[in-house]
Amino acid sequence: METLIVYKSVFHGNTKKIAIAMAEVLNAKFLDVENVDKKIIGDYDLIGFGSGIYYDKPQKKLMEYIEGLNNVKNKKAFVFSTSRQNRSDYNDWFKENLSDKGFEIIGEFHCKGHTIFKGNPNEEDLENAKEVARNIINTYNQILDMPEDSTNI
């Protein structure tokens, strides 16, 4: 499973910390969105997208990147975010827009960021991100093991 994490981390590096923790478990390459050519998405089986949340939405450059992606087939994705508030619905923009592009979302993570909560993401947050990454691997492997025509079972 070739895995890429595309993220945007602006102020305190919160989102990058989560990207690194997840990449460690997933054996993934992780790149700031400004360093990722859209063409390489085709080279990966699983792609993670992550950002800090600004005014209830992901960072603008990552939103523009996702909006500019071509539609895909047979691509799995996961999403993650950090914010001042502990609201997992901040991932909804990612899930909706990536699903519209043809990605199957197989995991998500959210935690508080440093802005108000100094010290976040903390060690517990990083361990939780790693656990989500392990669950993503399990989900991905289960999908691969499913018979192609499993809808008729």
List pLDDT tens digits, range 90-145: 889 999 999 999 999 999 998 877 655 566 778 898 999 999 999 999 999 998 88
Distance CA 65, CA 61 (A): 6
Which is more confidently placed, 125 or 6? 6
Q: Parallel, antiparallel, or unpaired: how do β-strands 46-54 and 104-112 relate?
A: unpaired
Give all domains of the chain, ordered by start, each with its CATH number. 3-148 (3.40.50.360)
Q: Taking the model in full, what pTM does it have?
A: 0.88
Q: What's the CA gap between 151 and 12, in Å, rounded?
A: 45
Q: Per the structure block, which two tokens stand in for 151? A: 């809808």
pLDDT at 55 > cutoff 90: no
**pLDDT value for 114:** 63
Query: Residues near 139 by Cβ (< 8 Å), separated by ≥ 6?
Result: 106, 107
- pLDDT given for residue 116 in this prediction: 58
